Amino acid sequence: MNNRTRSGMAIAGGRLAVVAVGVATLGAGGCTPGAGQLGRAPTGYEVYAELREGIGNIACSPAGDVYVSMHQFLDNDFRVGRVVVGADARDAHVEPYPPGAWQGDPNEDGVGLDAVLGITCDSRGVLWMLDNGRRSGVTPRLVAWDTNSDRLERIIPVLAPVSRSSMLNDLAVDRRHGAVYIADMGGGGSPAAIIVVDLDTGRSRRVLEGRPCVEAEPGAVTTIDGRTLDAMIGLNPIVLDTRCEWLYFGAMNGESLSRVRTLDLLDESLSDASLYARVEPYGDKAVSDGITMDSAGNVYISDLGASGVGVTRPDGSYELLFAGAELGWPDAMSFGRDGWVYVACNALHNAAPLNNGVNDSHPPYYIVRFRPIASGVAGR
């Protein structure tokens, strides 16, 4: 495959750091106890795919496939797809996946997808699609598709009053504890919150609703190419560590990253105030849409204002790693089986909902990839 390498903005100096790291070995719960292998900070990226389709979030499978949601703000004919790359990054396209009727509006039997943005792939090869229902105003739901057997595994509706008029944006799947954590970014008069879904019962709960750690921070505006967006958006980036012990999260329009223990999120005996008291500050970040995390405690940040990728280190400091023309609105990231981190970039600031009603979005859209500082879990 002839991928195009970019040095981008080489913040740390030097060439593209091809670090000898891999994907961590998974335990039965989809998490790893490994410490990870350390390397130098990346200073560049490769263009993996140049696409005409308007992509949203990204999920890499343990088998090596790359899946993307099709962003509802962009002009797309289907909801979710698998990326197919030929001999060159320009020879790439997205094919609909799952196939058939799943790419249309849900029918009376529940087959179909309304509006998917958040996706992730777990250690068992199950692709989790968060159907936010915002196209048609239908009930949000989790749709789990087994990519190994190519069949539906289960559907979990996120019912009112847990789901509100706001936007269920992203998710993290915790197979170790049998839970899914959903980022509700707020809006429509509803505060932001984390939604905890019990995979055994299908029951959902809202936690940390309206707390400062999930709401947009005053002054943390999104400025891209000299234009400041009006939107102030709450909880969006969300990721589990490789051991599934901590959930890391923050507001899109926020410059701080927080974390909370998964066991505390799952403890229903805790009041919301007690749970909030257990939320810890982790470090600084940029205004960002997506994050991922390696086994050494580095959280990679999609830096919207810089059109690049940065890192929040375990000491709490933030550093921009690289930037480039192909990284207009880096929306989401996912560790691949090959040890690279894949980044979906869609120039979303040019779409009508974020551009004063004017649609200036157009292809190409990009998936880029970079070598991380340490290993991570495929799909996360």
Question: Topology of 4-370 in CATH?
Answer: Neuraminidase (2.120.10)
Name which of 240, 236, 130, 256 is nearest 177 in CA terms.
240
Q: Where are the alpha helices (DSSP H) in the chain?
A: 262-266, 272-277
Per domain, the residue ranges of the chain are 4-370
Name which of 337, 27, 34 is nearest 176 in CA terms.
27
**pTM, to two decimals:** 0.91
User: From edge to edge, which strands make up the β-sheet containing 116-121?
Assistant: 116-121, 126-131, 141-146, 151-157
For residue 35, the model assigns a pLDDT of 40
Q: What is the residue-level pLDDT of the chain in tens, covering all 380 positions? A: 556 555 544 333 322 333 333 444 343 345 643 344 445 677 799 999 999 999 999 999 999 999 999 999 898 989 999 999 998 999 999 999 998 999 999 998 999 999 999 999 999 999 999 999 998 889 999 999 999 999 999 999 999 999 988 899 999 999 999 999 999 999 888 999 999 999 999 999 999 999 999 999 999 999 999 999 999 999 999 999 999 999 999 999 999 999 999 999 999 999 999 999 999 999 999 999 999 999 999 999 999 999 999 999 999 999 999 999 999 999 999 999 999 999 999 999 999 889 899 999 899 999 999 999 999 999 99
Residues in Cβ contact with 271 at an 8 Å cutoff, skipping those fewer than 6 apart: none
Q: Answer whether the bond into residue 161 is a cis peptide, omega within 30°.
A: yes
For residue 3, the model assigns a pLDDT of 63
User: From edge to edge, which strands make up the β-sheet containing 330-335?
Assistant: 4-6, 45-51, 365-370, 341-345, 330-335
What is the C-alpha R_g of the chain?
Answer: 19
For residue 14, the model assigns a pLDDT of 29
Q: Do the beta carbons of residue 234 and residue 193 sit within 8 Å? A: no
For residue 24, the model assigns a pLDDT of 42
For residue 189, the model assigns a pLDDT of 83
Name which of 8, 37, 29 is nearest 262 in CA terms.
29
For residue 19, the model assigns a pLDDT of 32
Side-chain half-sphere CA neighbours of 152 within 13 A: 14
Condensed to tens digits (0 to 9), the pLDDT of residues 179-214 reads 999 999 998 889 999 999 999 999 999 999 999 999
